[in-house]
Structure 1
């Protein structure tokens, strides 16, 4: 055995080194995949807790780090026409009806695994109507797309996610909203900057 090892020492050394390189490569790949997953932001948008226009819009942070919700944007579509506006602040709540001013906004930090109720679909449409100075009602909408724009707490960039809900109008005058997809679309950072940065810069307060 010793004689065999001595005779083939060079070949065995090459085999051993090759095996070690392969093992370390696999370790590095696993580490890199886990690192990329931890750095990836994921925001989920869903409806629940009620039916029709009274359904609550729920936003959950599924990232491994906290995010700061900077804006919520709604795209309302009806008869082929679409209007877009910010609906971050709960403008349907009169200022004198709440003791906590922060209750009138959806801006704020979402920790890992945290879910926040940003209002019913009826509330979101009401905010859009106030912002747009247009007449919209939840029962007249064909599709509503909700986009959450946030700032990542781990890396210095803007992230966003969106989900669209189709409306089915019922005979009794009500509506039922159904998500087009189960999963929430995660918008790429570059697309987020190009599409929403100007809208965020144009925000006016007061």
Structure 2
């Protein structure tokens, strides 16, 4: 055995070096994946506390770092067409914003796990069409599309998330049904440009 090791010392050294290189590649890949996850925003738009129109619409930050929600844009779809409106620009707010200013304004900083409560879906639909004669009636809306626009990290470009909810009439009342299992994250260059165009329409 000793003679074989002596005769193949160069081959053994090469194998050890290759194995060490493999370990370092795996280690660096894990570090790179962790860095990418840290730099990626993750925003959830969910339905909570039920499945009907009295369920609540929640926006939660699941990113590693805090985000700052700058805008909430909703699109109501009805047989008559699409109607887009910015939730954060609907009305003048009272000076007393209550215990949760972020939910009242639809804006604000969220650390990991914090959420904004946008309220009940039926109240949200009424709020969207309030004092706007061209908006569809709440009971005519078939799909509600929600887009969250936020700032994340040091980037000056906005990131966002989008989710669509169908309003399906049932015997027990209208049911709010998410049209996708997950919230779509808007992080690509193309998606960010689209977000900027949407924001420009509501400035």
TM-score between both structures, scaled by the size of structure 1: 0.84
Query: Is the alpha carbon distance of 1:45 and 1:83 closer, same or farther for their aligned partners in structure 2, counting shifts above 3 Å?
Result: same
Rounded to whole Å, the distance in 2 between the matches of 1:84 and 1:5 is 75
- 1:72 aligns with 72
Q: Measure, in 1, the Cα distance between the counterparts of 2:108 and 2:189.
A: 23
Q: Aligned residue for 1:58?
A: 58
Return the alpha-carbon distance in structure 2 between the equivalents of residues 95 and 149 of structure 1: 20
Counterpart CA distance in 2 for 1:127 and 1:198 is 23
1:185 Cα shift?
A: 1.0
Of 46-55 and 9-18, the range deviating more from structure 2: 46-55
* Residues 63 and 114 of structure 1: CA distance in aligned 2, closer, same or farther (over 3 Å): same
- Hey, what does 2:175 align to over in structure 1? 176
Alignment root-mean-square deviation, CA: 2.5
CA distance in 1, matches of 2:108, 2:93: 18
User: What are the Cα deviations for residues 165-195 of structure 1, in whole angstroms up to 9, with x where unaligned?
Assistant: 11112467x4221111221111233233322
**Contact 1:88–1:106 (CA under 8 A) maintained in structure 2:** yes
Matched, 1:119 2:119: yes
1:199 maps to 2:191: no
How many Å apart are 1:128 and its aligned residue? Answer: 2.3
8 Å CA contact 1:148–1:161 kept in 2: the answer is yes
8 Å Cα contact 2:67-2:109 kept in structure 1: yes
Give the 3-state SS of the residue equivalent to 1:20 in structure 2. Answer: helix
Give the number of aligned pairs: 200
Shift of 1:133: 3.9
Q: 1:4-83, aligned counterparts within 5 Å? A: 4-79=4-79, 81-83=81-83
3-state DSSP of counterpart to 1:136: coil
Question: Cα 1:90–1:153, aligned 2, differ >3 Å: closer, same or farther?
Answer: farther
In structure 2, C-alpha distance between the alignment counterparts of 1:156 and 1:19, rounded to whole Å: 42
Q: Distance in 2 between matches of 1:31 and 1:59?
A: 29
